[in-house]
Amino acid sequence: MNRTPANAFLDIRSVAKAFGGNQVLEDVSVQIAPGEIVGLLGPNGSGKSTLLNVITGFTPADAGSVHFDGRRIDRVAAHRIVRTGMARTFQLPSMPAKMSVMEVAMAAATAHHGVFDTLVGTARARATERAARDKAAHLLQELLLTPVRDLPAAAISGGQKKLLGIVCALMAEPRMLLLDEPTAGVHPNLRRDIVAALQRLNAQGMTLVIVEHDMHFIRDVCTRCVVLDRGSIVASCRPDELASNDRVLQAYLGTAGAKPLATEGA
């Protein structure tokens, strides 16, 4: 069954993208309502990260449009899109070698003072820095990174880097957060913490779009799933409807009704 919300917060209309002769996205339309947690699924190479890149301004679409909170954003630069209230994380976050976890989080703050304030060390500069430090400390605590806050960011574990990526995205105080494989390669204990953190954020009103392969995670977290196959949307349904959706089975297994999808990611 296809489910499309009437009140779109994020509205992706007929987006297409090719790299050379490789048509990676074709006529992709997705609407996401405020407060949803949407899982973006699909086999490897089906175009999920490319769609995330198009939405967040990192990759220009060849055709179609993207609207966020009533405003067209597909021609807006990535750093400006963040200011409209949308932030993202990356599949493989890379961290600067010489900055601590705390410094990386603080550097992601979007409120900055001018060069004069910085050079002279004005009260305004000090207040902005204090606010960024307080916000970073709070988010590091929420995402369980307080014990490593003074370590070099490049030295923390892969799972902790994913959490730090979420902290950095949250420093911009987004209303919508897009996450690219937040639990890939993450230990099950940490995975539980990520699930809890995302559910807390959603309870506070944040809309989430999550690219993920782990079906347990999808079932635990998502309110709806959108499935891509070879660059086209083939399903929009609840997580518990995935296993009986022929288009989804076809996408993952190459054949309908062969094997329950519930075994994916087990």
Ligand X SMILES: Nc1ncnc2c1ncn2[C@@H]1O[C@H](COP(=O)(O)OP(=O)(O)OP(=O)(O)O)[C@@H](O)[C@H]1O
Verify binding: residue 60, ligand X, rule CB under 6 A. no
Chosen residue from 13, 48, 135, 191 binding ligand X by CB under 6 A? 48
Chosen residue from 19, 96, 110, 187 binding ligand X by CB under 6 A? 19
Instruction: Give CA 182 to chain center in angstroms.
Output: 8
Q: Which of 25/139 has CB closer to ligand X?
A: 25
Please tell me the count of residues contacting ligand X according to CB under 6 A: 11
Q: Which of 19/116 has CB closer to ligand X?
A: 19
Verify binding: residue 49, ligand X, rule CB under 6 A. yes
Q: Write down the residue that tokens 């009260």 correspond to.
A: 123
Segment near ligand X (CB under 6 A); pick from 47-55, 67-75, 137-145, 201-209: 47-55
Chosen residue from 8, 12, 13, 46 binding ligand X by CB under 6 A? 46
Verify binding: residue 44, ligand X, rule CB under 6 A. yes
Verify binding: residue 191, ligand X, rule CB under 6 A. no
List Cα–Cα distances, 105 to 45, 113, 125, 134, 180, in angstroms: 31, 17, 17, 11, 19
Least spacing, CB of residue 46 vs ligand X, in Å: 4
Residues 169-204, buried b or exposed e (16+ Cβ, 10 A)? bbbbebebbbbbbbbbebeeebbebbbebbeebbee
For residues 67 to 86, the per-residue mask of contacts with ligand X, x marking binding by CB under 6 A and - elsewhere, is: --------------------
Verify binding: residue 42, ligand X, rule CB under 6 A. yes
Verify binding: residue 50, ligand X, rule CB under 6 A. yes
Round to whole Å and give the CA distance between 11 and 25: 16
Chosen residue from 24, 105, 208, 248 binding ligand X by CB under 6 A? 24
Residues contributing to the site for ligand X (CB under 6 A): 19, 22, 24, 42, 44-50
